[in-house]
């Protein structure tokens, strides 16, 4: 899978992608990350990429022309051109990006309705105004061939870039960052670890917070102990390691007795407890069994389980 990031700070990502799983995934050729400096697509002496907002107000806005040229330069065509298929459209886009021809007619051609689904590519604008980035969105992106991420700065990006090129706006949370770079790094990280082969064990991405329910996981996957529990939309259970005693607290005995059935039950109860305490809204759409509901009632009423 390939990620392309358009940014005014390509250097920002040097450290971010140089460690751990994301570094290994690149080294093993499972993912590729292309960084594209927006200023290379500005043609004045000062390599200007921003301008004052129409209508007045604070700050500056990223201008549309350098962004359009950057996108076309990396083979991203306008949505209106994708009816011809991404590859064909991309050729035209690359040529236009290279030759700096007019962008005036980009909105005029009709958009093919099913093109996005067929293309295997998504063009994403990082924005506090976007759809919330969740594990479910990460799963959707992990099935694609290519994700293009546009990082805003200042007061944001001229909206016509969104209208002409972007398939979706994504927000990583209800707060405002000073730029889209941190958000892009979050999207790349959460997405790439769900690509088959990136995590050592094929199933380890399943047994995590917001992961699938047990029933949807093939628990016979080699190397997955039967003591693990699928989250089914809940947060994960707490983890402990050696030493058994630390800071006056002992790790739960049940985890050390080797009884996988008991461990599974304890972990499920902990998932329910943590979700109820920290993210109660998740319980509304979680897949809960009759046993889960019984445990939840007991937790709520303070009953001993």
Q: Looking only at residues 107 through 126 of this chain, which bind ligand SAM when binding is defined by CB under 6 A?
A: 126
Applying CB under 6 A, which part among 113-121, 177-185, 252-260, 271-279 lies near ligand SAM?
Answer: 177-185
Contact window for ligand SAM (CB under 6 A) among 116-124, 149-157, 191-199, 296-304: 149-157
134 binds ligand SAM (CB under 6 A): no
Find the angle CA(3)-CA(5)-CA(8) to the nearest 5 degrees. Answer: 170
By CB under 6 A, residue 180 contacts ligand SAM? yes
DSSP result, 42-97:
--STT---EEPPTT--SS-EE-HHHHHHHHHHTTPPPGGGGGG-HHHHHHHHHHHH
Q: Could you give the 3-state DSSP secondary structure of residue 228?
A: coil
Of residues 153 and 267, the one with the C-beta less far from ligand SAM: 153
DSSP codes of every residue in 244-303: SEETTEEPPGGGGS--HHHHHHHHHHHHHHHHHHH-GGGGGTS---HHHHHHHHHHHTT-
C-alpha gyration radius of the chain = 23
**Shortest reach from residue 29's CB to ligand SAM, in Å:** 28
What's the min distance (Å) between Cβ of 152 and ligand SAM? 2
Stretch in the footprint of ligand SAM (CB under 6 A) among 2-10, 14-22, 37-45, 153-161: 153-161
Residue from 153, 193, 264, 268 that binds ligand SAM (CB under 6 A)?
A: 153
DSSP 198-222: SSSSTTTTTSSTT---GGGS-TTST
Member of 5, 77, 157, 213 binding ligand SAM (CB under 6 A): 157
User: Which residues ranging from 66 to 85 are in contact with ligand SAM (CB under 6 A)?
Assistant: none
55 part of the interface to ligand SAM, by CB under 6 A: no
Compute the least distance from the CB of residue 125 to ligand SAM, in Å: 7
- Contact with ligand SAM (CB under 6 A) among 119, 127, 228, 271: 127
Beta strand pairing call for 146-150 and 121-132: parallel
177 lines the binding site for ligand SAM (CB under 6 A): yes
d(CA 164, CA 108): 10
Q: Is 132 in the site for ligand SAM (CB under 6 A)?
A: no
Least distance from C-beta 179 to ligand SAM, angstroms?
A: 5
By CB under 6 A, the count of residues binding ligand SAM is 20
Q: What is the footprint of ligand SAM within residues 182-211 (CB under 6 A)?
A: 183
Burial class (CB within 10 angstroms; exposed 0-12, middle 13-18, buried 19+) of 281: exposed
Token pair belonging to 183: 């958000």
Q: Is 180 helix (H, G, I), strand (E, B) or coil?
A: coil
Shortest Å distance, C-beta 187 to ligand SAM: 9
Q: Does 60 participate in binding ligand SAM (rule CB under 6 A)? A: no
- Tokens representing 212 are 């699938």
Per 3-state DSSP, the chain is made up of helix, strand and coil in percentages (nearest 5) of 40, 15, 45
Query: Rule CB under 6 A: which residues touch ligand SAM?
Result: 126-129, 151-153, 155-157, 171-173, 175-180, 183
């Amino acid at each position: 899978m390939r990620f392309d990031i358009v940014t005014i700070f390509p250097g920002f990502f040097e450290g971010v992608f140089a460690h751990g799983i994301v570094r290994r995934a690149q080294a093993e050729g499972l993912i590729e990350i292309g960084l594209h400096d927006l200023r290379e697509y500005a043609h004045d002496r000062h390599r200007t990429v921003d301008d004052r907002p129409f209508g007045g107000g604070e700050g500056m806005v990223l201008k549309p022309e350098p962004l359009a040229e950057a996108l076309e330069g990396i083979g991203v065509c306008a949505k209106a051109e994708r009816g011809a298929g991404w590859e064909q459209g991309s050729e035209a886009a690359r040529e236009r990006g290279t030759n700096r021809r007019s962008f005036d007619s980009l909105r005029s051609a009709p958009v093919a309705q099913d093109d996005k689904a067929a293309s295997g590519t998504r063009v994403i604008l990082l924005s506090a105004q976007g759809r919330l980035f969740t594990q479910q969105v990460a799963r959707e992106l992990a099935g694609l061939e290519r994700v293009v991420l546009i990082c805003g700065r200042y007061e944001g990006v001229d909206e016509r870039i969104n209208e002409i090129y972007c398939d979706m706006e994504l927000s990583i949370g209800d707060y405002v960052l000073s730029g889209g770079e941190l958000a892009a790094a979050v999207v790349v990280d959460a997405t790439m670890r769900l690509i088959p082969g990136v995590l050592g064990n094929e199933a380890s991405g399943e047994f995590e917070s917001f992961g699938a329910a047990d029933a949807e996981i093939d628990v016979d996957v080699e190397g997955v102990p039967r003591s693990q529990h699928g989250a089914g939309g809940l947060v994960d259970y707490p983890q402990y390691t050696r030493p058994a005693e630390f800071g006056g607290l002992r790790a739960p005995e049940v985890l050390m007795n080797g009884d996988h059935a008991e461990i599974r039950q304890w972990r499920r109860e902990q998932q329910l407890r943590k979700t109820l305490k920290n993210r109660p809204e998740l319980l509304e759409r979680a897949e809960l069994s009759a046993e889960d509901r019984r445990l939840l009632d007991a937790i709520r009423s303070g009953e001993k389980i």
